[in-house]
Chain A
Amino acid sequence: MMALLSLAVLVPILAGTLLALTSSWERRRIAAGVALAAVLASLVLLAVALGRNGGGRSVIWWGSWPPHGRVVGIDFAVDGLGGGLALFVTVLAVPALLMAAYAIRASAQLFFGACLIFVAAMVGYCLTGDLFNLFVFFELMSVSAYVLVGYEVRKRAPLEGALTFAVTNSVGSILFLFGIGLLYGKVGALNMAQLGVGLHAVGPSGLVYVAFALVATGLLVKAAVIPFHFWTADAYGVAPTPVLILLGGVFSELGLYGFARVYWTVFDPALGAHHDAIRAIFVLLGLATGLLGAGMALAQHHLRRMLAFVVISQIGLFLVGIGLLSADGLAGTAIFLVGDGLAKAALFVCVGVVQLRCDAIEERTLHGRGRRLLWPLGIAYLLAALTVADLPPWGTFAGKALVEDAALKAGGYGWVPAVMTLISALAAGALLRAGLRVFAGVGDPAPYDERFVHEDGTQGGGEDESDVSVVLPGALAAALVLASLAWGLIPGLEHAAARAATRFIDTAGYAAAVLGGGARRATAPAVPPVHGPDATAWLYALATLAGAAAVAALGVAGRTLPRAAARTVDAVRALHSGRPGDYVAWAAGGAATLAGLFALTLS
């Protein structure tokens, strides 16, 4: 187990370093091969480790420094959800690297090297059981993401996107570290299990609330939860397509994973008496994020920015699932996240290839030009957009049904599934509208958007570059959509996810497994009974699909919003000013608000 888990992180790091060291060679094909081999190796190692784990929990201690009453070493603590997410990172890295081999020409070897470091950091982040180690992997994946987003540094938009991304996220990281420092001062530990035990012993206090707010801020900046989300559209709107597959498919979600992991291991023992308040705060935050993301997606005519806001809207839904603080909510989120990540990856591939081929990214200039591309591309795009709208039996349907079920069971949250339906319908409606216009030429061209003009004063739209082949991306997009379908068809997925989620939120069991000793409990916690999607789930899914179709139809028909709504949308859009200073102000204000909320509601 030690060898499997450590090599899963070390192989991509070493291969990435090797590629970076020899980057002056500039052998594009060899670099792509090495990168793919390293990622596949990591994938296989993780799959074997998870198979041997058999749904249990494995703990390994680096340098064989197991705890003797007090933890000094650093551990990897791998369970179904953490290990599964790490596996999903490596799975998504495969299409990302294939797209890179297809699309990246300049300094490709460095690009592949940075990609490998990025993947390795994300894998390590999912596996670690030490809070400071989590922070180091967090920083490693952030810095490689800054570099990858700003890869086309000679163009203005990527440069600006990378700057905004780096400044905002660095502030988030520093607040995170400040929170870790406060926790260490309070408890004198860095291991998450030991921190949980220690915090339970000292009990909640003002310092714990501040530390929780700071740690949550750092992780939620990454996850793009409002009001920490501002950088996301700027960075994701300009990132190279291969990077976007990883960023939008799994990187943002890792912020939420970290939040869930840290909450359940570190803070839940001390704050467990206040589940109601915590649930209310994070479910509302998730719904607000979802509504903002979906509304902003609808307002966009820049396809990549639209996708970025769809990512934000889905993050909001995932936060609802996690914020319900129940095993079935968490299990549903895990299924939902993978199905949705695969579908979004397909969307990124489709939009990326259209941009490459047509040299434009505006809905207006691209009107009907997708028809001249290979037809599977358009089909894949539309199917992926419908997957965002819970199309049964795709993976998103089963996952979201579980989250809705958890909301109905939570008591007082029966209205949440209706809002989730609205969020999905708006987000998917925006995607469908753009897809119908671009790939089918339906309706009138989109209105002119003066916000996005190229440096030459136009909105782009040169001749098609017919030497750009669309066969590989077409096949890739189709494969990703089919993978999302297959994910939803796996029998017994709900039960496996519920078992893994129960283990994930079993704080006492986690602490016993990591710290060892007498606290090991004889009985495992009860897994909540889950079932496949029932009639209610079908009803919500049909409502979502109908809503998305209606939103798309109204959009294609050129219907505009009523004046008051349009003014609100304009006001919200104006907040996304593109200036890092403003975004940092929002993040600092958000952190202070969270700390205040915790102090008010949890004491």
Chain B
Amino acid sequence: MSVLPYLVAAWLLVIGLWGVITSRHLVHMVLCLGVVQSSTYVLLLAVGYRTGGQAPIVSSSVPPSSPFVDPIVQALTLTDVVVEATVVAVLLALTVQAHKRFGTADPNALGALRG
């Protein structure tokens, strides 16, 4: 099992966070959040991967004893994607409102609340 997918997951996590922290546009910020989230997809799929394993579908030609990749992490990843879609939808709706009402989508222009 290669270490590469774990490195990719860690890299996505760090670079996505860097993007969120330094972002100058709300849409960019939301997409960076998506990059951070995809680090968890890569991590989960890497965790469940088996070398030489096949898709976890048992049928008459594929006996249950043959090697499978872990189906649980795939279910988790799917759930994760749904969660991410919900969060992105809410955030983008707020972004659209911010742009419509206040003519800006720069997170640094926020700050009616501080101190």
- A interface residues (Cβ-Cβ under 8 A, vs B): 132, 136, 139, 143, 146-147, 150, 153-154, 156-157, 159-164, 166-167, 170-171, 173-174, 177-178, 181-182, 184-185, 190, 233-234, 237-238, 299, 305, 451, 573-574, 576-582, 584-585, 588
- Minimum distance in angstroms from A448 CB to a CB of chain B: 14
Closest residue of A by beta carbon distance from B20 = A584
- A584 x B94 contact (CB < 8 A): no
- B114 x A136 contact (CB < 8 A): no
- B111 x A579 contact (CB < 8 A): yes
- Minimum distance in angstroms from B103 CB to a CB of chain A: 11
Of A132, A143, A181, which contacts B90 at CB under 8 A?
A143
Cβ-based interface call for B47 (8 A): yes
Cβ-based interface call for B33 (8 A): yes
Cβ-based interface call for B113 (8 A): yes
Beyond A166-B94, A451-B114, is A156–B102 a contact (Cβ under 8 Å)?
Answer: yes
- B90 x A147 contact (CB < 8 A): yes
Given A182-B43, A576-B115, 18 further pairs, Cβ under 8 A: A132-B76, A154-B97, A156-B102, A163-B91, A178-B9, A181-B73, A184-B47, A185-B46, A233-B113, A576-B114, A578-B113, A579-B107, A579-B108, A579-B111, A581-B21, A581-B29, A581-B107, A582-B21
Cβ-based interface call for B69 (8 A): no
- Minimum distance in angstroms from B72 CB to a CB of chain A: 7
- B76 x A159 contact (CB < 8 A): no
Q: How far is the CA of A581 from the CA of B22 in the complex (A)?
A: 6
- A143 x B17 contact (CB < 8 A): no
Of A156, A166, A577, which contacts B114 at CB under 8 A?
A577
Interface centre among A185, A584, A585, by most chain B C-beta atoms within 10 angstroms, is A584
Closest residue of B by beta carbon distance from A164 = B110
Q: How far is the CA of A184 from the CA of B91 in the complex (A)?
A: 29
- A163 x B98 contact (CB < 8 A): yes
Of A181, A185, A588, which contacts B21 at CB under 8 A?
A588
Which residues on B sit within 8 Å (CB–CB) of A234?
113-114
- Minimum distance in angstroms from B10 CB to a CB of chain A: 9
- A154 x B101 contact (CB < 8 A): yes
Of A166, A178, A585, which contacts B91 at CB under 8 A?
A166
- B112 x A578 contact (CB < 8 A): yes
Of B36, B110, B111, B113, which contacts A171 at CB under 8 A?
B36
- B113 x A167 contact (CB < 8 A): no
Which residues on B sit within 8 Å (CB–CB) of A184?
44, 47, 72-73, 76
Stretch binding the partner chain, chosen from B51-59, B60-68, B80-88: B80-88
Q: How far is the CA of A305 from the CA of B112 in the complex (A)?
A: 13
Of B23, B33, B80, B86, which contacts A177 at CB under 8 A?
B80
Which residues on B sit within 8 Å (CB–CB) of A305?
113
Q: How far is the CA of A177 from the CA of B37 in the complex (A)?
A: 9
Beyond A156-B101, A581-B29, is A143–B113 a contact (Cβ under 8 Å)?
Answer: no
Beyond A170-B33, A174-B37, is A579–B43 a contact (Cβ under 8 Å)?
Answer: no
Q: How far is the CA of A150 from the CA of B102 in the complex (A)?
A: 15
Number of residues of chain B lying within 8 A (CB) of chain A: 42
Which residues on B sit within 8 Å (CB–CB) of A167?
20, 29, 33, 91
- What are 26 A-B contacts with C-beta separation under 8 Å? A132-B76, A143-B86, A146-B90, A159-B94, A159-B97, A162-B94, A163-B95, A163-B110, A171-B20, A173-B87, A174-B40, A178-B9, A181-B73, A576-B114, A576-B115, A578-B114, A579-B108, A579-B110, A579-B111, A580-B20, A581-B21, A581-B29, A581-B107, A581-B108, A584-B17, A588-B17
- Minimum distance in angstroms from A231 CB to a CB of chain B: 10
- Minimum distance in angstroms from A12 CB to a CB of chain B: 18
Q: How far is the CA of A170 from the CA of B102 in the complex (A)?
A: 24
- B47 x A581 contact (CB < 8 A): no
- Minimum distance in angstroms from B84 CB to a CB of chain A: 9
Of B39, B87, B112, which contacts A156 at CB under 8 A?
B112
Closest residue of A by beta carbon distance from B83 = A139
Contact with A along B2-41 (1 / 0, CB 8 A): 0000000100010001001111001001000100110110
Closest residue of B by beta carbon distance from A168 = B20
- Minimum distance in angstroms from A194 CB to a CB of chain B: 13
Which residues on B sit within 8 Å (CB–CB) of A136?
79, 83
Q: How far is the CA of A156 from the CA of B17 in the complex (A)?
A: 26
Closest residue of B by beta carbon distance from A577 = B114
- Minimum distance in angstroms from B94 CB to a CB of chain A: 5
Closest residue of B by beta carbon distance from A157 = B112
Closest residue of A by beta carbon distance from B86 = A143
- Minimum distance in angstroms from B115 CB to a CB of chain A: 4
Which residues on B sit within 8 Å (CB–CB) of A299?
115
Which residues on B sit within 8 Å (CB–CB) of A173?
83, 87
Q: How far is the CA of A352 from the CA of B111 in the complex (A)?
A: 22
Closest residue of A by beta carbon distance from B115 = A573
Closest residue of B by beta carbon distance from A305 = B113
Q: How far is the CA of A510 from the CA of B53 in the complex (A)?
A: 35
- A170 x B87 contact (CB < 8 A): yes
- Minimum distance in angstroms from B108 CB to a CB of chain A: 6
Which residues on B sit within 8 Å (CB–CB) of A576?
114-115
Which residues on A sit within 8 Å (CB–CB) of B46?
185
Beyond A136-B79, A181-B47, is A580–B110 a contact (Cβ under 8 Å)?
Answer: yes
- A166 x B17 contact (CB < 8 A): no
Closest residue of B by beta carbon distance from A160 = B110
Q: How far is the CA of A173 from the CA of B33 in the complex (A)?
A: 11
- A166 x B101 contact (CB < 8 A): no
Which residues on A sit within 8 Å (CB–CB) of B112?
156-157, 160, 578
Which residues on A sit within 8 Å (CB–CB) of B9?
178
Closest residue of B by beta carbon distance from A163 = B94
Of B47, B102, B107, which contacts A580 at CB under 8 A?
B107
Q: How far is the CA of A299 from the CA of B115 in the complex (A)?
A: 9
- B98 x A581 contact (CB < 8 A): no
Interface centre among A160, A162, A585, A588, by most chain B C-beta atoms within 10 angstroms, is A160
Closest residue of B by beta carbon distance from A72 = B72
Beyond A159-B101, A579-B107, is A171–B79 a contact (Cβ under 8 Å)?
Answer: no
Which residues on A sit within 8 Å (CB–CB) of B36?
171, 174
Sorted nearest first, the 9 A-B pairs with minimum C-beta distance are A578-B111, A185-B47, A578-B114, A573-B115, A181-B43, A234-B113, A585-B21, A451-B115, A581-B21
